[in-house]
Amino acid sequence: MLSSNSKGELNTAKTSKEEKSESLIQKLNVKQILPQKFYSRHAEIVAKELLGKLLVRSLDNDLLVGKIVETESYHGTRDPASRAFGGKKNNINKYMWNKPGTAFVYMVHGNWMFNVITGKENEPSGVLLRAIEPLSSVDKMFELRKKINSNVSDVRQLCSGPGKLTQAFDISPKLQEKNMTVQSEIYIADSDKKQIAMSK
């Protein structure tokens, strides 16, 4: 990336996207990744404690990071709002019986919904990520959102709904059943407010 200073001189010393991503990766210590035991609890508890945590998405040379600000819990086979309501498995909801900390992606009204499985294996429950505050690689998030809605311009609306955040983070069924408790294309990490700040 090239830029000019106030004197019109060419400056090539600015940090590249690759360097920014590498720097942020270093700040997001692997030990900050939420372990399986974090998710191995009641969905309502996990939903509350996910607030303020960081959703991390590795995408080519970009590291997309956002603070989770809204969640919704689903409590298994007796919850009418849950995909597992009634206890019958199908091609859409079968992933809810996975291990806690596993990604679950499904579509509603043309938008992908991103969830993480909670509780005990074979006892379906989960948490839907509803909204995120963008922190890193914000320009990349806008680029991804504009593939679907070219009018997106307000950062406050960038990831302010479950469908918006999956667009901004390029989340689709290709991430189905991903283990969110290890470093991979997508995971959730504990936050360090002193280290993480919004960047483009």
Rounded CA-CA distance 199/189 in Å is: 18
Fold (CATH) for 16-189:
3-methyladenine DNA Glycosylase; Chain A (3.10.300)
Q: What is the pTM of this model?
A: 0.81
d(CA 27, CA 132): 19
What are the residue ranges spanned by the domains of the chain?
Answer: 16-189
Confidence of residue 197 (pLDDT cuts 50, 70, 90): very low
The C-alpha atoms of residue 30 and residue 20 are separated, in whole angstroms, by 17
Cα radius of gyration rounded to whole Å, the chain: 18
Comparing 91 with 44, the larger pLDDT belongs to 44
Give the SS3 label for residue 130: strand
